[in-house]
């Protein structure tokens, strides 16, 4: 597009020059031929310079921004709201025109939004898939349209991503967050075994079990305990869909059913952990005294609870760092970079948040 604009501008300048040269005739023309030719040449040169300047300005304008489509799996997810706000600030600060779409946790809805963005001719897409299982379809769609695309927050497999060289994933390695949750429990005074019976009895409030983040956080939080030589007992595992109200309901039911047997409540994210905290407090239990509670994301509300001693800890899921990485990767793709198979995932580290360091994140 940039080259076409420049060529058109130069063509207009050449046409102007030809038109000026063709003007005139007869005797009067003969007597003024030299001055007219000089004036014509000067005019054509000036027009060409102006055309060059206009084309350069147009190229600079395109390079400084562009139209970016962003698809978020649902707007009312607390973490993705933080992420979305960070993306908007960075993209608009760089001069991009950005449009955000709410997938409303409906993959069919998001598929339509992706197709609409492509029809509108966006320069790049940033997509937070509703369903990880839809990765093949999403990747095939953006590949057919030859649209540089960054996937965020929900990671496809390396094999799926290898189908398109203008595709990159930016996020965190969920295995790390799960491991850190387990470490937070191991770092407590009782190492999670509050009643001293030689095993850690826990409930797990999971996000969306189809989501790889939920899978890895569930697996690796417990693996950290067993790798440290601890015996564990899973009392319950329930799907909470990242939702605070569901977290509260699951914890309430489990506390009523298992009572003091529950020593640890693992939650795949902070929103569910805050819901679980409400149930814990309603049941007359005290976090860090007779029960432990951990989450992931380091939402402001969770940081406040950690500082107040109402959560054992959380794990920072760096929304700002991931947003910066996503935009950086998008700009690399727009600049012509392609990614080889096996090199298409860019990770941002998680960080453990405890009462001792929580002030650093507030």
Assess whether 29 and 103 both reside in one domain.
no
Q: Which domain holds residue 16?
A: 2-63
Q: CA-to-CA distance for 183 and 181, rounded, in angstroms?
A: 5
Two tokens, residue 138: 């999403």
Distance CA 100, CA 167 (A): 19
Task: Please list the pLDDT of the chain residue by residue as tens digits (362 residues).
Answer: 333 333 333 333 333 333 333 333 333 333 333 444 444 444 444 544 444 443 343 334 344 579 999 999 999 999 999 999 999 999 999 999 999 999 999 999 999 999 999 999 999 999 999 998 999 999 999 999 999 999 999 999 999 999 999 999 999 999 999 999 999 999 999 999 999 999 999 999 999 998 889 999 999 999 999 999 999 999 999 999 999 999 999 999 999 999 999 999 999 999 999 999 999 999 999 999 999 999 999 999 999 999 999 999 999 999 999 999 999 999 999 999 999 988 999 999 999 999 999 999 99
Q: Specify whether 231 is located in the same domain as 281.
A: yes
Taking the whole predicted model, whether its pTM rises above 0.95 is answered as no
Angle, alpha carbons 65-128-217 (nearest 5°): 135
- Largest Cα separation within the chain, whole Å, is 116
Same domain for 242 and 270, yes or no, is: yes
Say yes or no: 236 and 266 in one domain: yes
Task: State both tokens at 236.
Answer: 């319950």
- How many domains in the chain? 3
Is 192:152 a contact under the CB 8 Å cutoff?
A: no
Residue 362 lies in a domain: no
In a domain, 130, yes or no: yes
The CATH number of the domain holding residue 306 is: 3.40.50.2300
Helix (H, G, I), strand (E, B) or coil at 210: coil
């Amino acid at each position: 597009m940039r080259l076409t604009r420049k060529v058109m501008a130069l063509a207009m300048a050449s046409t102007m020059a030809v038109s000026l040269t063709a003007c005139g005739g007869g005797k009067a023309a003969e007597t003024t031929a030299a001055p007219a030719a000089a004036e014509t040449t000067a005019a054509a040169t000036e027009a060409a310079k102006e055309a060059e300047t206009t084309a350069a300005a147009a190229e600079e304008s395109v390079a400084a921004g562009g139209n970016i489509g962003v698809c978020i799996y649902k707007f009312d997810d607390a973490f993705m709201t933080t992420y979305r706000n960070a993306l908007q600030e960075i993209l608009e600060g760089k001069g991009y025109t950005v449009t955000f779409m709410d997938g409303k946790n409906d993959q069919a809805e998001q598929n339509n939004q992706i197709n609409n963005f492509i029809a509108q001719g966006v320069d790049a897409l940033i997509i937070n898939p509703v369903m990880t299982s839809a990765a093949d379809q999403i990747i095939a769609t953006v590949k057919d349209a030859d649209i540089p695309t960054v996937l965020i927050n929900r990671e496809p497999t390396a094999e799926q991503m290898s189908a398109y060289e203008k595709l990159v994933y930016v996020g965190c390695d969920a295995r790390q967050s799960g491991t850190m949750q387990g470490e937070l429990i191991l770092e407590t005074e009782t190492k999670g075994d509050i009643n001293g019976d030689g095993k850690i009895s826990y409930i797990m409030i999971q996000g969306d079990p189809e989501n790889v983040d939920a899978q890895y956080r569930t697996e690796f939080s417990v693996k950290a305990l067993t790798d440290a030589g601890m015996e564990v007992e899973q009392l319950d595992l329930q799907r909470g869909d990242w939702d605070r109200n569901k977290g509260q309901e699951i914890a309430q039911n489990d506390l009523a059913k298992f009572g003091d047997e529950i020593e640890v409540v693992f939650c795949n994210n902070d929103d569910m952990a805050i819901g679980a905290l409400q149930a814990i407090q309603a049941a007359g239990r005290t976090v860090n005294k007779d029960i432990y509670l951990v989450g992931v994301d380091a939402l402001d509300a969770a940081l406040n609870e950690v500082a107040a001693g109402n959560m054992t800890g959380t794990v920072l899921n760096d929304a700002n760092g991931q947003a910066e990485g996503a935009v950086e990767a998008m700009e690399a793709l727009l600049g012509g970079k392609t990614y080889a198979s096996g090199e298409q995932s860019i990770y941002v580290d998680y960080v453990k948040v405890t009462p001792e360091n929580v002030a650093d994140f507030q």
